[in-house]
Structure 1
């Protein structure tokens, strides 16, 4: 999970150009609603941190369909395909900002175009994401308490460990993930992050990824323990992994949370890593 640099576009100019690229009958319809769209664009930017509180403009179904059709101009071979490519390219290492680990492949309408057709082609409303997050988010706007999804362009996560992993060593190694609210930290962004984490089922997703990561690296853990300082050597290696991943993916990556938790867990570093594989590693 991480933030993106907002696109630097003249969105109103883009809208006017889009109108000229539509069929004549659509141009006429869009012209009739253009003043409302211009005002809506201004409102979107004014509602910094609170875009989900915007009210959709009052328009006919014909006008709504025409506005939603502007997004088709982002398709392959269409006039705004270059803008789509530019927006997708902003994703760090091509990873989805909503989950932080799947590849981006689509643009999500932060405010869904089915509800807010006026924002169907507004660049600040188009976030490059993976298909999973796009599908899980769907047309949801938020909950009754006012919580919403984290907006990758508008929301900047504080530089603190918000995504944490808990490691339990018993008959095997169990890893769970959660959002950790710092004591006394009342920022509503944390409320949104908790909603975001729950609605996208990121806990279950990260747990599955962590299992594959640990079992795939079981041999490395054995080697490090046997040849580079035992428990302390393994803990040091895990800390280095966390730092390396942080530089690549940001502080609130699931891998950062995982390796920080492993490095701090004495049960894992002393012998628990052996539970990851039945193979007798001989180093």
Structure 2
């Protein structure tokens, strides 16, 4: 697992850049009018993530494509904001997408440099949390195996299941050793990877590390 510095692109910068890609003036102005609501959502995300409690964030429920999520913006529009604006190679915001994608040195932080970054992972999936579809702190460079596998559309509802957040999680997950290997001297030889968290860690942190390791099948991928 690899710790990343938080993005140097602010949410405001991202929203402004996305607005520049909106050709219709009324659409752009309506989008800009809800910026304050985006900022409130960002503050909630920051506070919860820094405390390790992002799993407690209250998602909009029920959530359908036509559900209003941020002011007058529906889930569909917020998902499209990522798909057809930020990720669109012909839009101004694409520069920010590319900057985030290479910010980890093109190595995936979720699996600890095993895979090469191929896309941006929504730490809180945009299908369930569309209000964070283009928020830089929620966009983590990821390899295909991590992003398309178990991590992809899943999200935690209890502390033990919360994946490690490369931008904001506790230093212990990145500075202390908790992944080990045994050499099995049979046939051609092989390594068996396993976790053994320090005794000083809380049981919750141990469970989170185990869940991260197992859900991404890291023991088979190292």
* TM beyond 0.5: yes
Match of 1:67 among 78, 92, 103: 78
Q: How many residues align?
A: 205
Whole-angstrom CA distance in 1 between matches of 2:209 and 2:135: 24
Correspondences of 1:98-137 after superposition (within 5 Å):
98-99=110-111, 100-136=113-149, 137=151
Rounded to whole Å, the distance in 1 between the matches of 2:14 and 2:22 is 13
Provide the TM-score with structure 1 as the length reference: 0.65
Q: Deviations over 1:71-128 (max 9, x none)?
A: 1322212111111121122213x21111121111100000000111110000010000
Q: 1:98 to 1:138 in 2, by over 3 A?
A: same
Unmatched tracts of structure 2, length 5 or more: 62-66
* Residue 5 (structure 1) aligned with residue 5 (structure 2): yes
Cα deviations by residue, 1:164-217 (Å, 9 ceiling, x for unpaired)? 1112223442321112111242274432221111111111122xxxxxxxxxxx
Q: Find the counterpart in structure 1 of residue 64 from structure 2.
A: none
CA-based RMSD:
2.4
Mapped to 1, the partners of 2:89 and 2:21 lie a distance apart of 15
| 1:80 counterpart = 2:93 | yes
Alpha-carbon shift at residue 3 of structure 1 (Å): 0.7
Higher relative contact order (CA 8 A, sep 6+): 2
The structure that is helix-richer by fraction is 1
Distance 1:145 1:11 in 2: 26
Tell me which stretches of 4 or more aligned residues in structure 1 moved more than 3 Å: 23-36, 143-146, 187-190
**Corresponding residue of 2:40:** 39
Q: 1:63 to 1:183 in 2, by over 3 A?
A: same
- Name the TM-score, length of structure 2 as normaliser: 0.81
Higher Cα radius of gyration: 1
